[in-house]
Amino acid sequence: MLVCLRGILETGEPLAIGVPTDTRTTLSIPAVSSATVRVYITTPTGEPVDLVRISATAKMAVRQTPSNVVPFIELTGTASPGKPRGYVDFSITALSTKYATPGRYTYTVWLLTSTSIDVVIPASPFNLLPATLLR
């Protein structure tokens, strides 16, 4: 399963036409299945973010609620193979959701550099669907 999302690295620049003002997107994944979450990260002007140039690591966390400190899934993104800069893939494995109870959670995506932590997708709904829906 491939899910595509959009993230914005806030730089203080005004939003260009076509750049979303809110990147919150509901993500629904069946439990005990694998999925790739591909995030296209741009600046407010629509310019793709070059993670190598800014020495950033992309992270994704799924928590029971936005205020939970410890996530039950935490992933590090990798550059999307064969895609231009700005694309990051997160791999959710069947094992990472095997013992989680189906239900509604939240996820966040951020960039981590040596000097900052920048949210590119704020806390958004993450629905873990029962595995029986796969049959």
**Residue 134: pLDDT above 60?**
no
Chain-wide mean pLDDT for the chain? Answer: 88
Segment 98-112 mean pLDDT:
91
Residues 6+ apart with CB under 8 A from 17: none
78-79 and 73-76 beta bridge pairing: unpaired
Q: Which of the listed CATH numbers 3.40.50.150, 2.40.50.1070, 2.60.40.10, 2.120.10.30 matches domain 2-130? A: 2.60.40.10
**Residue 132: pLDDT above 80?**
no
pLDDT in tens, 39-63: 999 999 999 998 888 888 999 999 9
Segment 106-124 mean pLDDT:
91
**Amino acid identity, position 31:** A
